[in-house]
Structure 1
């Protein structure tokens, strides 16, 4: 069975994702679609709109055959580490190809840009360092340094987030000597960060979430942008938990973690460095919301995404030594769900997997999976108190979701 891998968050699954899924399956001539999906906290440093179990069900009902969880140690990370973890999982699960969406849609331009970056690495790093000294953020410094060296018409635009991720996916495949074949399809209509609807049927996840939060449980405002199963599952989640998750749900918990910590304790948290602990504490004592807190700690040097990821690590009390270890490969395959086709693939291929397959938490003791468990517990604090225990216990009680043929 020929398998194509997708690296996703599905926050939530929308029509653009459906296009990417179908185009990927066609491009790879695949029988099986395997997705590696971030858990309850995401790469851009925010809680997922709904739990990973609901997002898994969205994926399976919309055409994915197997969903594996991207461990917290890779999910809440910069692009390079995020890509390494995801690629290692798809490789270990026997995928023939990985297909990613990009603003470019042209694989040749990715390969050309990677060759250029490799050839110019020494000069590029020198330019990056020079721009950082002017006070700009690292991603901005990389973009400026890159464009100073290159003809922007000949190479990829590295200001585009999906192009950046695509570069890292291909680099990860090369560095891990993976047999995965990279493929890319162009994103349709909506840019990754678009906050407004740009077409009649395709919208970014950012704009969809914005519409959901402005209307609360009124998902009819987004129904033309999401498949039917997504709309129904969003309604089901809201009816069950009376909330969609966002940072403000967790502000009181983050606030408590901050004001009861010393600067020395904060310095132990992953990604707290360069004196940020002092700025964090000062802002915590005078902020009344997460938005206000973020506005007070933001500087030109640090992106919103970097600071939000740092806040996730503070919220989950994730320390530097807990995130230490090989940055290039995951150590297990956490199965979240499958269809009949996915189950058939697992039965045929799991004995050949390069990593242990985990379908039951109690059967596997591993440092990284303990981080996943802790993140799930913290995530459950974002719902009403009488529902917290139910969501928390789901991490142990929930078997991998199985969508049978009808």
Structure 2
């Protein structure tokens, strides 16, 4: 068994994801695949369009064998924390042979060289890095410029300056660097691969061909609320399941739906806002001041945005406030190298084989039903991570189920079991 690991959000699963899955299996010669997938809240600091079980079912029906939830505390953070949580999860399974991620660069050797610098932190690199930080630059910008200076000073890559700058400042390349960096730090045996993204860029909002970005799909659903507009850019399995959810009166979720709740939390917790993770440098004061005059979440975000506070930083900060993720709790778990559990969301027959391999090769706790988690609740890190998974689902579902309150039994994590897709129905 040659098992491929994927790190995904599938928000939603589209033709580009299908291409990535197919190509990844090809370049790694993998026979089985595991996707570590964000749950109900995502890395950009926003809710997923549809719930984690629906997105996991779609993934398996499109060819993924096993979908495991990335713990919430890592799923909606910076690239560094997101990558660490995902790679630590894959590595903890102790049976994954490779990972393959999409990147703008497409050359894993180049990304590996850059990641090695970030892990080794040579003195000259740290000098460049400190200089840019002292000039008041944001951490990501300072790091990118320091890498650029260091690589060119020692002629480590035979590429143009323009290409290097592009590599260092492209969204998927940055994530890829963090994946490789984590593999190196963990001394993992998992081998990294990458394939070039095709057609649309990560942030493109246009649907111009049969492959477009998830951003464009979400924008289309938000602006026009018409599923037929995305029919040509998603596989049939995706379209059919989303159509079924809409028919069942479940609507796509967007961050603006949590504006009133965020307002209430900020006004209630103004004296303790700075205890939430990523609330620093006085951003809590700007949030509080602008709550009173903002008519929408977008208004609030734009009123806080500045050179110091990027829009992405603001969205993640507000999401941490919404989910109540504190600095103390994040500090408790952020350096975990061995995940205490995995949460199975969906699987097929090959996925069952992978689960058997995990049980054989790893001591990680496999959660299929929440009635089984009491055995580890005395583990502080386990309890911290699982509590936020439950809290995030509860907050998400209070709005997701607004048209189906009769189906909301309580904390749905306790009532929902993994979705099993028989292989002969995997079409």
Q: TM-score, normalised by structure 2?
A: 0.89
Q: Which shows bigger deviation, 176-185 or 325-334?
A: 325-334
Contact 1:106 1:184 in 2 (8 A): yes
Helix, strand or coil: the match of 1:337? strand
Please state if 1:167 is matched with 2:144: no
Tell me how far apart the structure 2 counterparts of residues 178 and 44 of structure 1 sit (CA, whole Å).
27
1:381 to 383, 395, 398: 398
2:193 to 144, 166, 183: 183
Tell me how far apart the structure 1 counterparts of residues 321 and 114 of structure 2 sit (CA, whole Å).
36
Partner residue, 1:82: 82
User: Cα deviations across residues 246-291 of structure 1 (Å, max 9, x unaligned)?
Assistant: 11111111111112222x3101111111211111100111111100
Contact 2:14 2:235 in 1 (8 A): yes
User: Number of residues paired by the alignment?
Assistant: 403
Partner residue, 2:412: 394
Ranges of 4+ aligned residues in structure 1 off by more than 4 Å: 116-121, 132-136
Helix, strand or coil: the match of 2:69? strand
Contact 1:53 1:336 in 2 (8 A): yes
Please state if 1:274 is matched with 2:288: no
Tell me how far apart the structure 1 counterparts of residues 49 and 403 of structure 2 sit (CA, whole Å).
19
Please state if 1:227 is matched with 2:228: no
Deviation of residue 241 (structure 1)?
3.7
Tell me how far apart the structure 2 counterparts of residues 336 and 355 of structure 1 sit (CA, whole Å).
16
Deviation of residue 112 (structure 1)?
2.2
Deviation of residue 148 (structure 1)?
3.8
Q: Which shows bigger deviation, 358-367 or 265-274?
A: 358-367
Structure 1 residues 125 and 91, CA, compared in 2 at 3 Å: closer, same or farther?
same
Deviation of residue 324 (structure 1)?
2.1
Deviation of residue 134 (structure 1)?
4.8
| Aligned-CA RMSD value | 2.0
Please state if 1:142 is matched with 2:143: yes
Which runs of no fewer than 5 residues in structure 2 stay unpaired? 153-158, 378-382
Contact 1:132 1:301 in 2 (8 A): no
Deviation of residue 332 (structure 1)?
1.0
Please state if 1:350 is matched with 2:351: no
1:192 to 197, 202, 216: 202
Contact 1:61 1:229 in 2 (8 A): yes
Tell me how far apart the structure 1 counterparts of residues 146 and 168 of structure 2 sit (CA, whole Å).
11
Tell me how far apart the structure 2 counterparts of residues 108 and 313 of structure 1 sit (CA, whole Å).
35
Q: TM-score, normalised by structure 1?
A: 0.94
Partner residue, 2:37: 37
Tell me how far apart the structure 2 counterparts of residues 356 and 53 of structure 1 sit (CA, whole Å).
20
Deviation of residue 139 (structure 1)?
2.1
